Chain A
Amino acid sequence: MTSEAAPAAGATTPVLAVRDLKIAFAGRPVLDGLTFEVASGEVYGLLGPNGAGKTTCINITCGLLGADAGSARVAGLAPGEGARREIGVVPQEIALYRQLTCMENLLFFAGAHDVAVQRRRERAERCLEAVQLGDRADDLVATLSGGMHRRLNVAVGLVHEPLLLILDEPTVGLDLEARQLSWELIETLRRTGTTILLTTHYLEEAEALCTRIGIMAGGRLAAEGEMAELRGRIPAAELGVIHAENPGEIERRAEGLGFEYRTAGDAVTVWLPERRRLEQVAEDFAGLSVRSLSVRPVGLEQIYQEVTAVSGRLAV
């Protein structure tokens, strides 16, 4: 769907090139040298905690905010030079005309993006097919289910054949089933070669969908790579999280057992080199002042903590 390169884009021009982006709000830096690239066909996940500056980065890319320094170019174009035409944005909210049909929504936005009149219907039909709403073309949006709204919301972002599709937190606030549906849709788009930038808080989401991930901290990328690489930074099969009266005791026991650990307040997170049953872990730390104990998979928080500790910056 986004396979044709824009005339301005050479074979090696990345679809999105963000370079040394800086912006401060009221003297507080939010982006401070953010740099990354998204190549054609990639699904790039921009991860970061609340307030990390993910949405700010998207706003600058779309030309809705001016950066203090640096640049964000789509197919080599700055926002003022027609980059906007090459971007399809899917807002987090459902942004559709409820009293129009699916087809009418798509035709309107195709027109609003200057798609040639004779191509609009064909584009609209293709996009409806892409989100499996081909049979609902003439139904009013108001009569569709919530999941269908989500799908049409994405379709509208694709109608003008953008080179880059931007999804800002596509699944935040969705229930499990709706999230699953969104994942399937993004997965389908990835298979058809759509280049996507998506932001998310969820590690599993990034892991399931993204070909590459960048983790933001302190206004720039603290780590970047494929999920496997990032996970490799925490060589643990699972994590044992132990809250204790006396964390020092736990640390000493962990050392004795040859486990790596990280302590935050009264919680010690122990890196378990292989999968262990809860009882086994309980046995390992028996006789100490353990208040609670759980075993969980390696999550985004640990990777955050690791990469931010390594880069010497604090997560926002």
Chain B
Amino acid sequence: MSVVAQRILLELWHTRRSLVFWVLFPALMLLLFGLIYADGEGTGDSFDDMAPSILIGAALFFSCLSGVITVLVGERERHTLKRVLLSSLSGRDYFMGIVAAFCVIAAGQAVIVYGIAYAFGGRYHGSLLLGTVIVILSVMAYVGVGFFFGARFAKSTEEVNGPVSAIGVPLLVLGGTFFPPDMLPSYLYKATHLNPVFHMNEALREVSAMGAGWAAVADHLLFLAVFAAASLLAGTRSYQRMMAREARL
């Protein structure tokens, strides 16, 4: 595994505080919404439905997006950014290292979320490979957005929490994380097709809850793949920008 990924995971492991919240948050959200949407027949269907969007829309959003920003702000605050920029690491190494670290976190969150769903009768019905691809593309998209903001604007963590909650949380809601997007009025439903969270949620929900195959989610996958590629590009450019502006002794 890349040294960057190892380092991020080790640091998280030594601190553990954020790990606790990254477990607690999706666990509570899934329990809550799984029980809210349960009907007389039992909880199986509602947990089937909620597990994928709670994982991808809620759990990954908070771990990846705020996690990446914390990583970058931390590098700045501790002056390690200079050392990183002076090393042989390329922007791509660095970005993909962060993605790899958060894929590991995402795997952990998936185990928790589906473990809870399983206890309430929910199941994963689709192809595991396809689900993994969707999760990896989603992690890349989140890391890309987080990296963009972290690299450009974030000098301290407080500075970021506001905008992330103010803009991010509505996007989650609009993306159908907490309720099916067909409940949206038609103009909002159309608008949300530009929202990557919508495509993540829809793709994983169809695969996980309905057992859909590659062809059925091809549109969502395409959108996510393009968004992920753009994220990588933006990430490497942000890195070069940091190099040009911040790599000074």
Size range of the chain A interface in the assembly: 20 to 34
Which residues of the other chain, B, contact A96 by a CB distance below 8 angstroms?
78, 80
A42 → chain B closest CB, angstroms: 21
- Whether B248 and A113, one on each chain, are in contact in the complex, defined by CB atoms closer than 8 angstroms, is no
Annotate B65-80 by CB proximity to A: 1 below 8 A, 0 otherwise: 0000000000000111
- Whether B78 and A112, one on each chain, are in contact in the complex, defined by CB atoms closer than 8 angstroms, is no
- Whether A114 and B88, one on each chain, are in contact in the complex, defined by CB atoms closer than 8 angstroms, is yes
What residue in chain B is nearest A65 (Cβ atoms)? B248
A198 → chain B closest CB, angstroms: 13
For the complex, give the distance between the alpha carbons of A59 and B87 in Å. Answer: 14
**Is A253 at the interface (CB under 8 A from chain B)?**
no
A290 → chain B closest CB, angstroms: 45
**Is B155 at the interface (CB under 8 A from chain A)?**
no
Which residues of the other chain, B, contact A64 by a CB distance below 8 angstroms?
86, 247-249
With beta carbons under 8 angstroms apart, the residue of A85, A91, A140 that contacts B249 is A91
**Is B171 at the interface (CB under 8 A from chain A)?**
no
- Whether B7 and A108, one on each chain, are in contact in the complex, defined by CB atoms closer than 8 angstroms, is yes
Annotate B1-38 by CB proximity to A: 1 below 8 A, 0 otherwise: 00110110011001100000000000000000000000
- Whether B3 and A111, one on each chain, are in contact in the complex, defined by CB atoms closer than 8 angstroms, is yes
What residue in chain B is nearest A98 (Cβ atoms)? B78
What residue in chain B is nearest A115 (Cβ atoms)? B88
Given the known interface contacts A93-B79, A97-B80, the answer about A84 and B88 at a Cβ–Cβ threshold of 8 Å is yes
Given the known interface contacts A91-B249, A113-B88, the answer about A97 and B79 at a Cβ–Cβ threshold of 8 Å is no
What residue in chain A is nearest B11 (Cβ atoms)? A99
Interface size on B, residues (CB 8 A): 21
Q: Which A262-288 residues sit within 8 Å CB-CB of chain B?
A: none
What residue in chain A is nearest B15 (Cβ atoms)? A99
For the complex, give the distance between the alpha carbons of A98 and B84 in Å. Answer: 15
- Whether B249 and A112, one on each chain, are in contact in the complex, defined by CB atoms closer than 8 angstroms, is no
Which residues of the other chain, B, contact A109 by a CB distance below 8 angstroms?
83, 87
Most buried by A among B4, B6, B79: B79
**Is A92 at the interface (CB under 8 A from chain B)?**
yes
For the complex, give the distance between the alpha carbons of A94 and B4 in Å. Answer: 20
**Is B89 at the interface (CB under 8 A from chain A)?**
yes
With beta carbons under 8 angstroms apart, the residue of A55, A85, A91 that contacts B83 is A91
**Is B237 at the interface (CB under 8 A from chain A)?**
no
B98 → chain A closest CB, angstroms: 14
- Whether A113 and B87, one on each chain, are in contact in the complex, defined by CB atoms closer than 8 angstroms, is yes
What residue in chain A is nearest B6 (Cβ atoms)? A108
**Is A89 at the interface (CB under 8 A from chain B)?**
yes
- Whether A156 and B78, one on each chain, are in contact in the complex, defined by CB atoms closer than 8 angstroms, is no
For the complex, give the distance between the alpha carbons of A85 and B86 in Å. Answer: 9
Given the known interface contacts A64-B249, A89-B249, A168-B249, the answer about A104 and B82 at a Cβ–Cβ threshold of 8 Å is no
For the complex, give the distance between the alpha carbons of A89 and B79 in Å. Answer: 13
For the complex, give the distance between the alpha carbons of A64 and B80 in Å. Answer: 16
**Is A100 at the interface (CB under 8 A from chain B)?**
yes
For the complex, give the distance between the alpha carbons of A65 and B80 in Å. Answer: 19
Residues of B within 8 A of A (CB): 3-4, 6-7, 10-11, 14-15, 78-80, 82-84, 86-89, 247-249
8 CB-based A-B contacts, threshold 8 Å: A84-B88, A89-B82, A91-B82, A99-B11, A99-B15, A109-B87, A112-B3, A113-B88
Beyond A85-B88, A114-B88: 4 further Cβ-contacts under 8 Å? Answer: A64-B247, A89-B83, A99-B15, A168-B249
Q: 9 nearest interchain CB pairs?
A: A111-B3, A112-B87, A95-B79, A93-B79, A114-B88, A108-B7, A99-B11, A99-B14, A64-B247
